[in-house]
Each structure stands twice: as C-alpha cells, then as structure tokens.
Amino acid sequence: GQQVMQIPQYQHVQEGEDFTTYCNSSTTLSNIQWYKQRPGGHPVFLIQLVKSGEVKKQKRLTFQFGEAKKNSSLHITATQTTDVGTYFCAAYTGTASKLTFGTGTRLQVTL
C-alpha cells in the first residue's frame, strides 16, 4: 500500500539553527498536507500543497512540493523553542480518500 516516509526521525538543534524535514512517497500524490503535534497534544494542520513545484511560506516555515509530486519538505529558519514537536506530512490515498501520515520527524530545540 501507499507509504509515506519521512527523514530524519529525530533532530535536536540549538535555538537559532535551521531545521528541515523531508517527506517521500513511492507514488505520485495529488496533494500533500503538513501537521504539527506538540508533546502531549494532538495534530494541528499547518498547510496543504497541491501544485507541482509549489512553495508556500508561513513566517519562518517554508514548505515545498516536488516537481514530480512525490516528495515534499518543510524548512524552519532560526528555530525557536516553540517549534518543538513532531512534524508529519500526510497525503490522501486510496479510493476511499484515506489520509496516510508519514512517519514523522521529532524536533527538539534547546537554548
């Protein structure tokens, strides 16, 4: 079945450093979504990308969708402690429109 892999699984950075997580699919995606889950919390929608090569920005966060629509990335510039959490990519798959989540990247930020 559809698999969505993310790397790295875990990253520890110092505040102010940049961070990037990558999402890769074995098949072409119609769109991709990104979610953030704080420790002990629930996933919260961040953004959706639809077009090939699309780039969207939200303050210090930059999201990209690959030209072949098989991969995506999330880049955070100058991380802050509030960025701590796990970032998931997700894509709708299957005939019943099931949202498949990536394996997630856990970000730890220290002062």
Partner 1 sequence: NAGVMQNPRHLVRRRGQEARLRCSPMKGHSHVYWYRQLPEEGLKFMVYLQKENIIDESGMPKERFSAEFPKEGPSILRIQQVVRGDSAAYFCASSPGTDAYEQYFGPGTRLTVT
Note the residues at the interface with partner 1 (CB under 8 A): 30-31, 33, 41-45, 48, 50, 88, 92, 94, 96-104, 106
Going through 4-42 in order, the beta strands assigned E by DSSP cover: 4-7, 10-14, 19-25, 32-37
The closest of 108, 91, 98 to 23, measured between CA atoms, is: 91
> Is 64 or 105 the residue whose CB approaches partner 1 more closely?
105
Question: Least distance from C-beta 96 to partner 1, angstroms?
Answer: 4
Question: Least distance from C-beta 22 to partner 1, angstroms?
Answer: 15
> Is 3 or 18 the residue whose CB approaches partner 1 more closely?
3
Q: Which long-range contacts (CB under 8 A, 24 or more apart) does 59-65 make?
A: 63/34, 65/32
3-state SS, one letter per residue, for 65-93: ECCCCCEEEEEECCCCHHHCEEEEEEEEE
> Is 15 or 30 the residue whose CB approaches partner 1 more closely?
30
Place of tokens 């939200």: 58
> Is 20 or 92 the residue whose CB approaches partner 1 more closely?
92
Question: Least distance from C-beta 32 to partner 1, angstroms?
Answer: 11
Question: Least distance from C-beta 26 to partner 1, angstroms?
Answer: 16
